[in-house]
Chains A and B, each alone.
Chain A
Amino acid sequence: MIEPEVSTIKPQPADKKKIFKIWWVAGILALVTAAEFYVALQFPESWKSFKIFLFIGMTFIKAGYIVMEFMHLGHEQKSLMWTILIPTAFVVWLLGALFIQADAIYQAIYG
């Protein structure tokens, strides 16, 4: 059966504050991305490890806003939030551990 084209339900009015919050977060994400570009192209090459530190920091800022606001995790029950975040934290630990391993392999071959 074909439903009517135009809805019979009257939508509730939009909450201006909510919409503003969404665009506000979008603005932050755009700003951080622009900052990443500035760091990548304008900061001197010799600051390599500082640049990497900044990149990773800014990535986590962006990831935080996407997960907590856009995916609404920050507004879910706290137990759900930790159920998602704690396993992810272990992955970050694994990342660090394996990079140390990789460096050991590098040292064994080239060091």
Chain B
Amino acid sequence: MANSVSVNTTNKDLWAGGAEPYKASYGKLMMWFFLISDAFTFSAFLIAYGVIRFRHPGYEGTLSDFSFSQTYWPVPEKVFEAFPFFHGVELPLVFVGLMTFILILSSVTMVLAVEAGHRMDRQGVEKWMVWTIFGGLMFLGCQAWEWSHFIHGTDAGSKLLDGSIIYGANLQLNQYGPPDFAAFFFFITGFHGFHVFSGIALNFLIFYQATVGILEKRGHYEMVEKVGLYWHFVDLVWVFVFTFFYLV
């Protein structure tokens, strides 16, 4: 049984080739390289969004006169202003702000789980992993509500160029503005949401392994650090999505 706390004996840290590149373990380094490639994918999404956004005319008038139109790009704070149980009340960006806050908090609990892992504190790891998973699920729930609201649309709907009224958005038609706007909303937040989902799955797996004592037996909690890297990355991507999709 692993009853030794010391992890960092020199031999153990070496890779099979007998060296330790960057003084990082194989798993952690590969997680970093994966995250770099994932960052490229998300950058591609955000760059494409920026390019399409830039080549559409923006809204020129004052915010209070704003109405949805197919001829210009919508102002995000006029699109995302709904909040559950506050139907008809204009609360610009409040809900998405709540989601941001939830994700940042779950990132904090993840750091605390990693910190507990360094101290071989099994109960601490379990506790903070549960909170992290809980935060992730809350975020996904919020996103499901937001998608549902976005798809079903507002009470008034808006006029298409041919004069017909449309409510909500799908991949062909969009009440909030040019169809591209809805397409990017679905693809960017959807791709991010899927990352959150897989992050929750990984977190749960590691939580389970910690709970049944597999990680303790292994002698270290490095797996918590690895899924932690992934989880922080998901938070990081949301920080960028929040700015470039909802604020700018």
Contact = CB atoms under 8 A, between A and B. Distances in A.
Interface string A54-92: 011011001100110111100011011001100110010
Contact of B213 (A3, A25, A99): A3
Nearest to A102: B54
Contacts of A70: 107-108, 110-111, 232, 235
B115 A33 contact: no
Interface in B92-122: 92-93, 97, 100-101, 104-105, 107-108, 110-112, 115-116, 119-122
A88 B232 contact: no
B115 A18 contact: yes
A52 B54 CA distance: 14
Interface of A: 2-4, 7-9, 11-14, 18-19, 22-23, 25-26, 29-30, 33, 36-37, 40-41, 45, 52, 55-56, 58-59, 62-63, 66-67, 69-72, 76-77, 79-80, 83-84, 87-88, 91, 94-95, 98-99, 101-103, 105-106, 109-110
Q: Which residue of B5, B50, B51, B111 has the most chain A CB atoms within 10 A of its CB atom? A: B111
A98 B104 contact: no
18 contacts: A3-B217, A7-B216, A11-B121, A11-B123, A22-B112, A40-B247, A41-B77, A41-B92, A41-B93, A45-B63, A52-B248, A66-B232, A67-B232, A70-B107, A70-B108, A99-B50, A102-B51, A110-B57
Interface stretch (B39-47, B133-141, B161-169, B176-184): B39-47
Contact of B23 (A13, A30, A52, A77): A77
A99 B5 CA distance: 52
Contacts of A45: 62-63
Given A66-B235, A77-B22, A101-B51, A23 B213 contact: no
Q: Do most interface residues of chain A lie in helix, strand or loop, or is the interface mixed?
A: helix
Contact of A33 (B32, B100, B213): B100
A33 to B, nearest CB: 6
B47 A94 contact: yes
B240 A102 contact: no
Contacts of A30: 101, 104
Interface of B: 1-3, 5, 22-24, 29, 32, 36, 39-40, 43, 46-47, 50-57, 62-63, 77, 92-93, 97, 100-101, 104-105, 107-108, 110-112, 115-116, 119-124, 212-214, 216-217, 225, 228-229, 232-233, 235-236, 239-240, 242-243, 247-248
B115 to A, nearest CB: 6
A49 to B, nearest CB: 10
Nearest to A92: B43
A12 B120 contact: yes
Given A12-B120, A22-B111, A56-B243, 4 more contacts: A2-B212, A11-B122, A26-B105, A70-B235
A31 to B, nearest CB: 11
A40 B244 CA distance: 12
Contacts of B228: 71
A79 B24 CA distance: 11
Contacts of B104: 26, 29-30, 33
B247 A36 contact: yes
Contact of A106 (B54, B93, B107): B54
B108 A106 contact: no
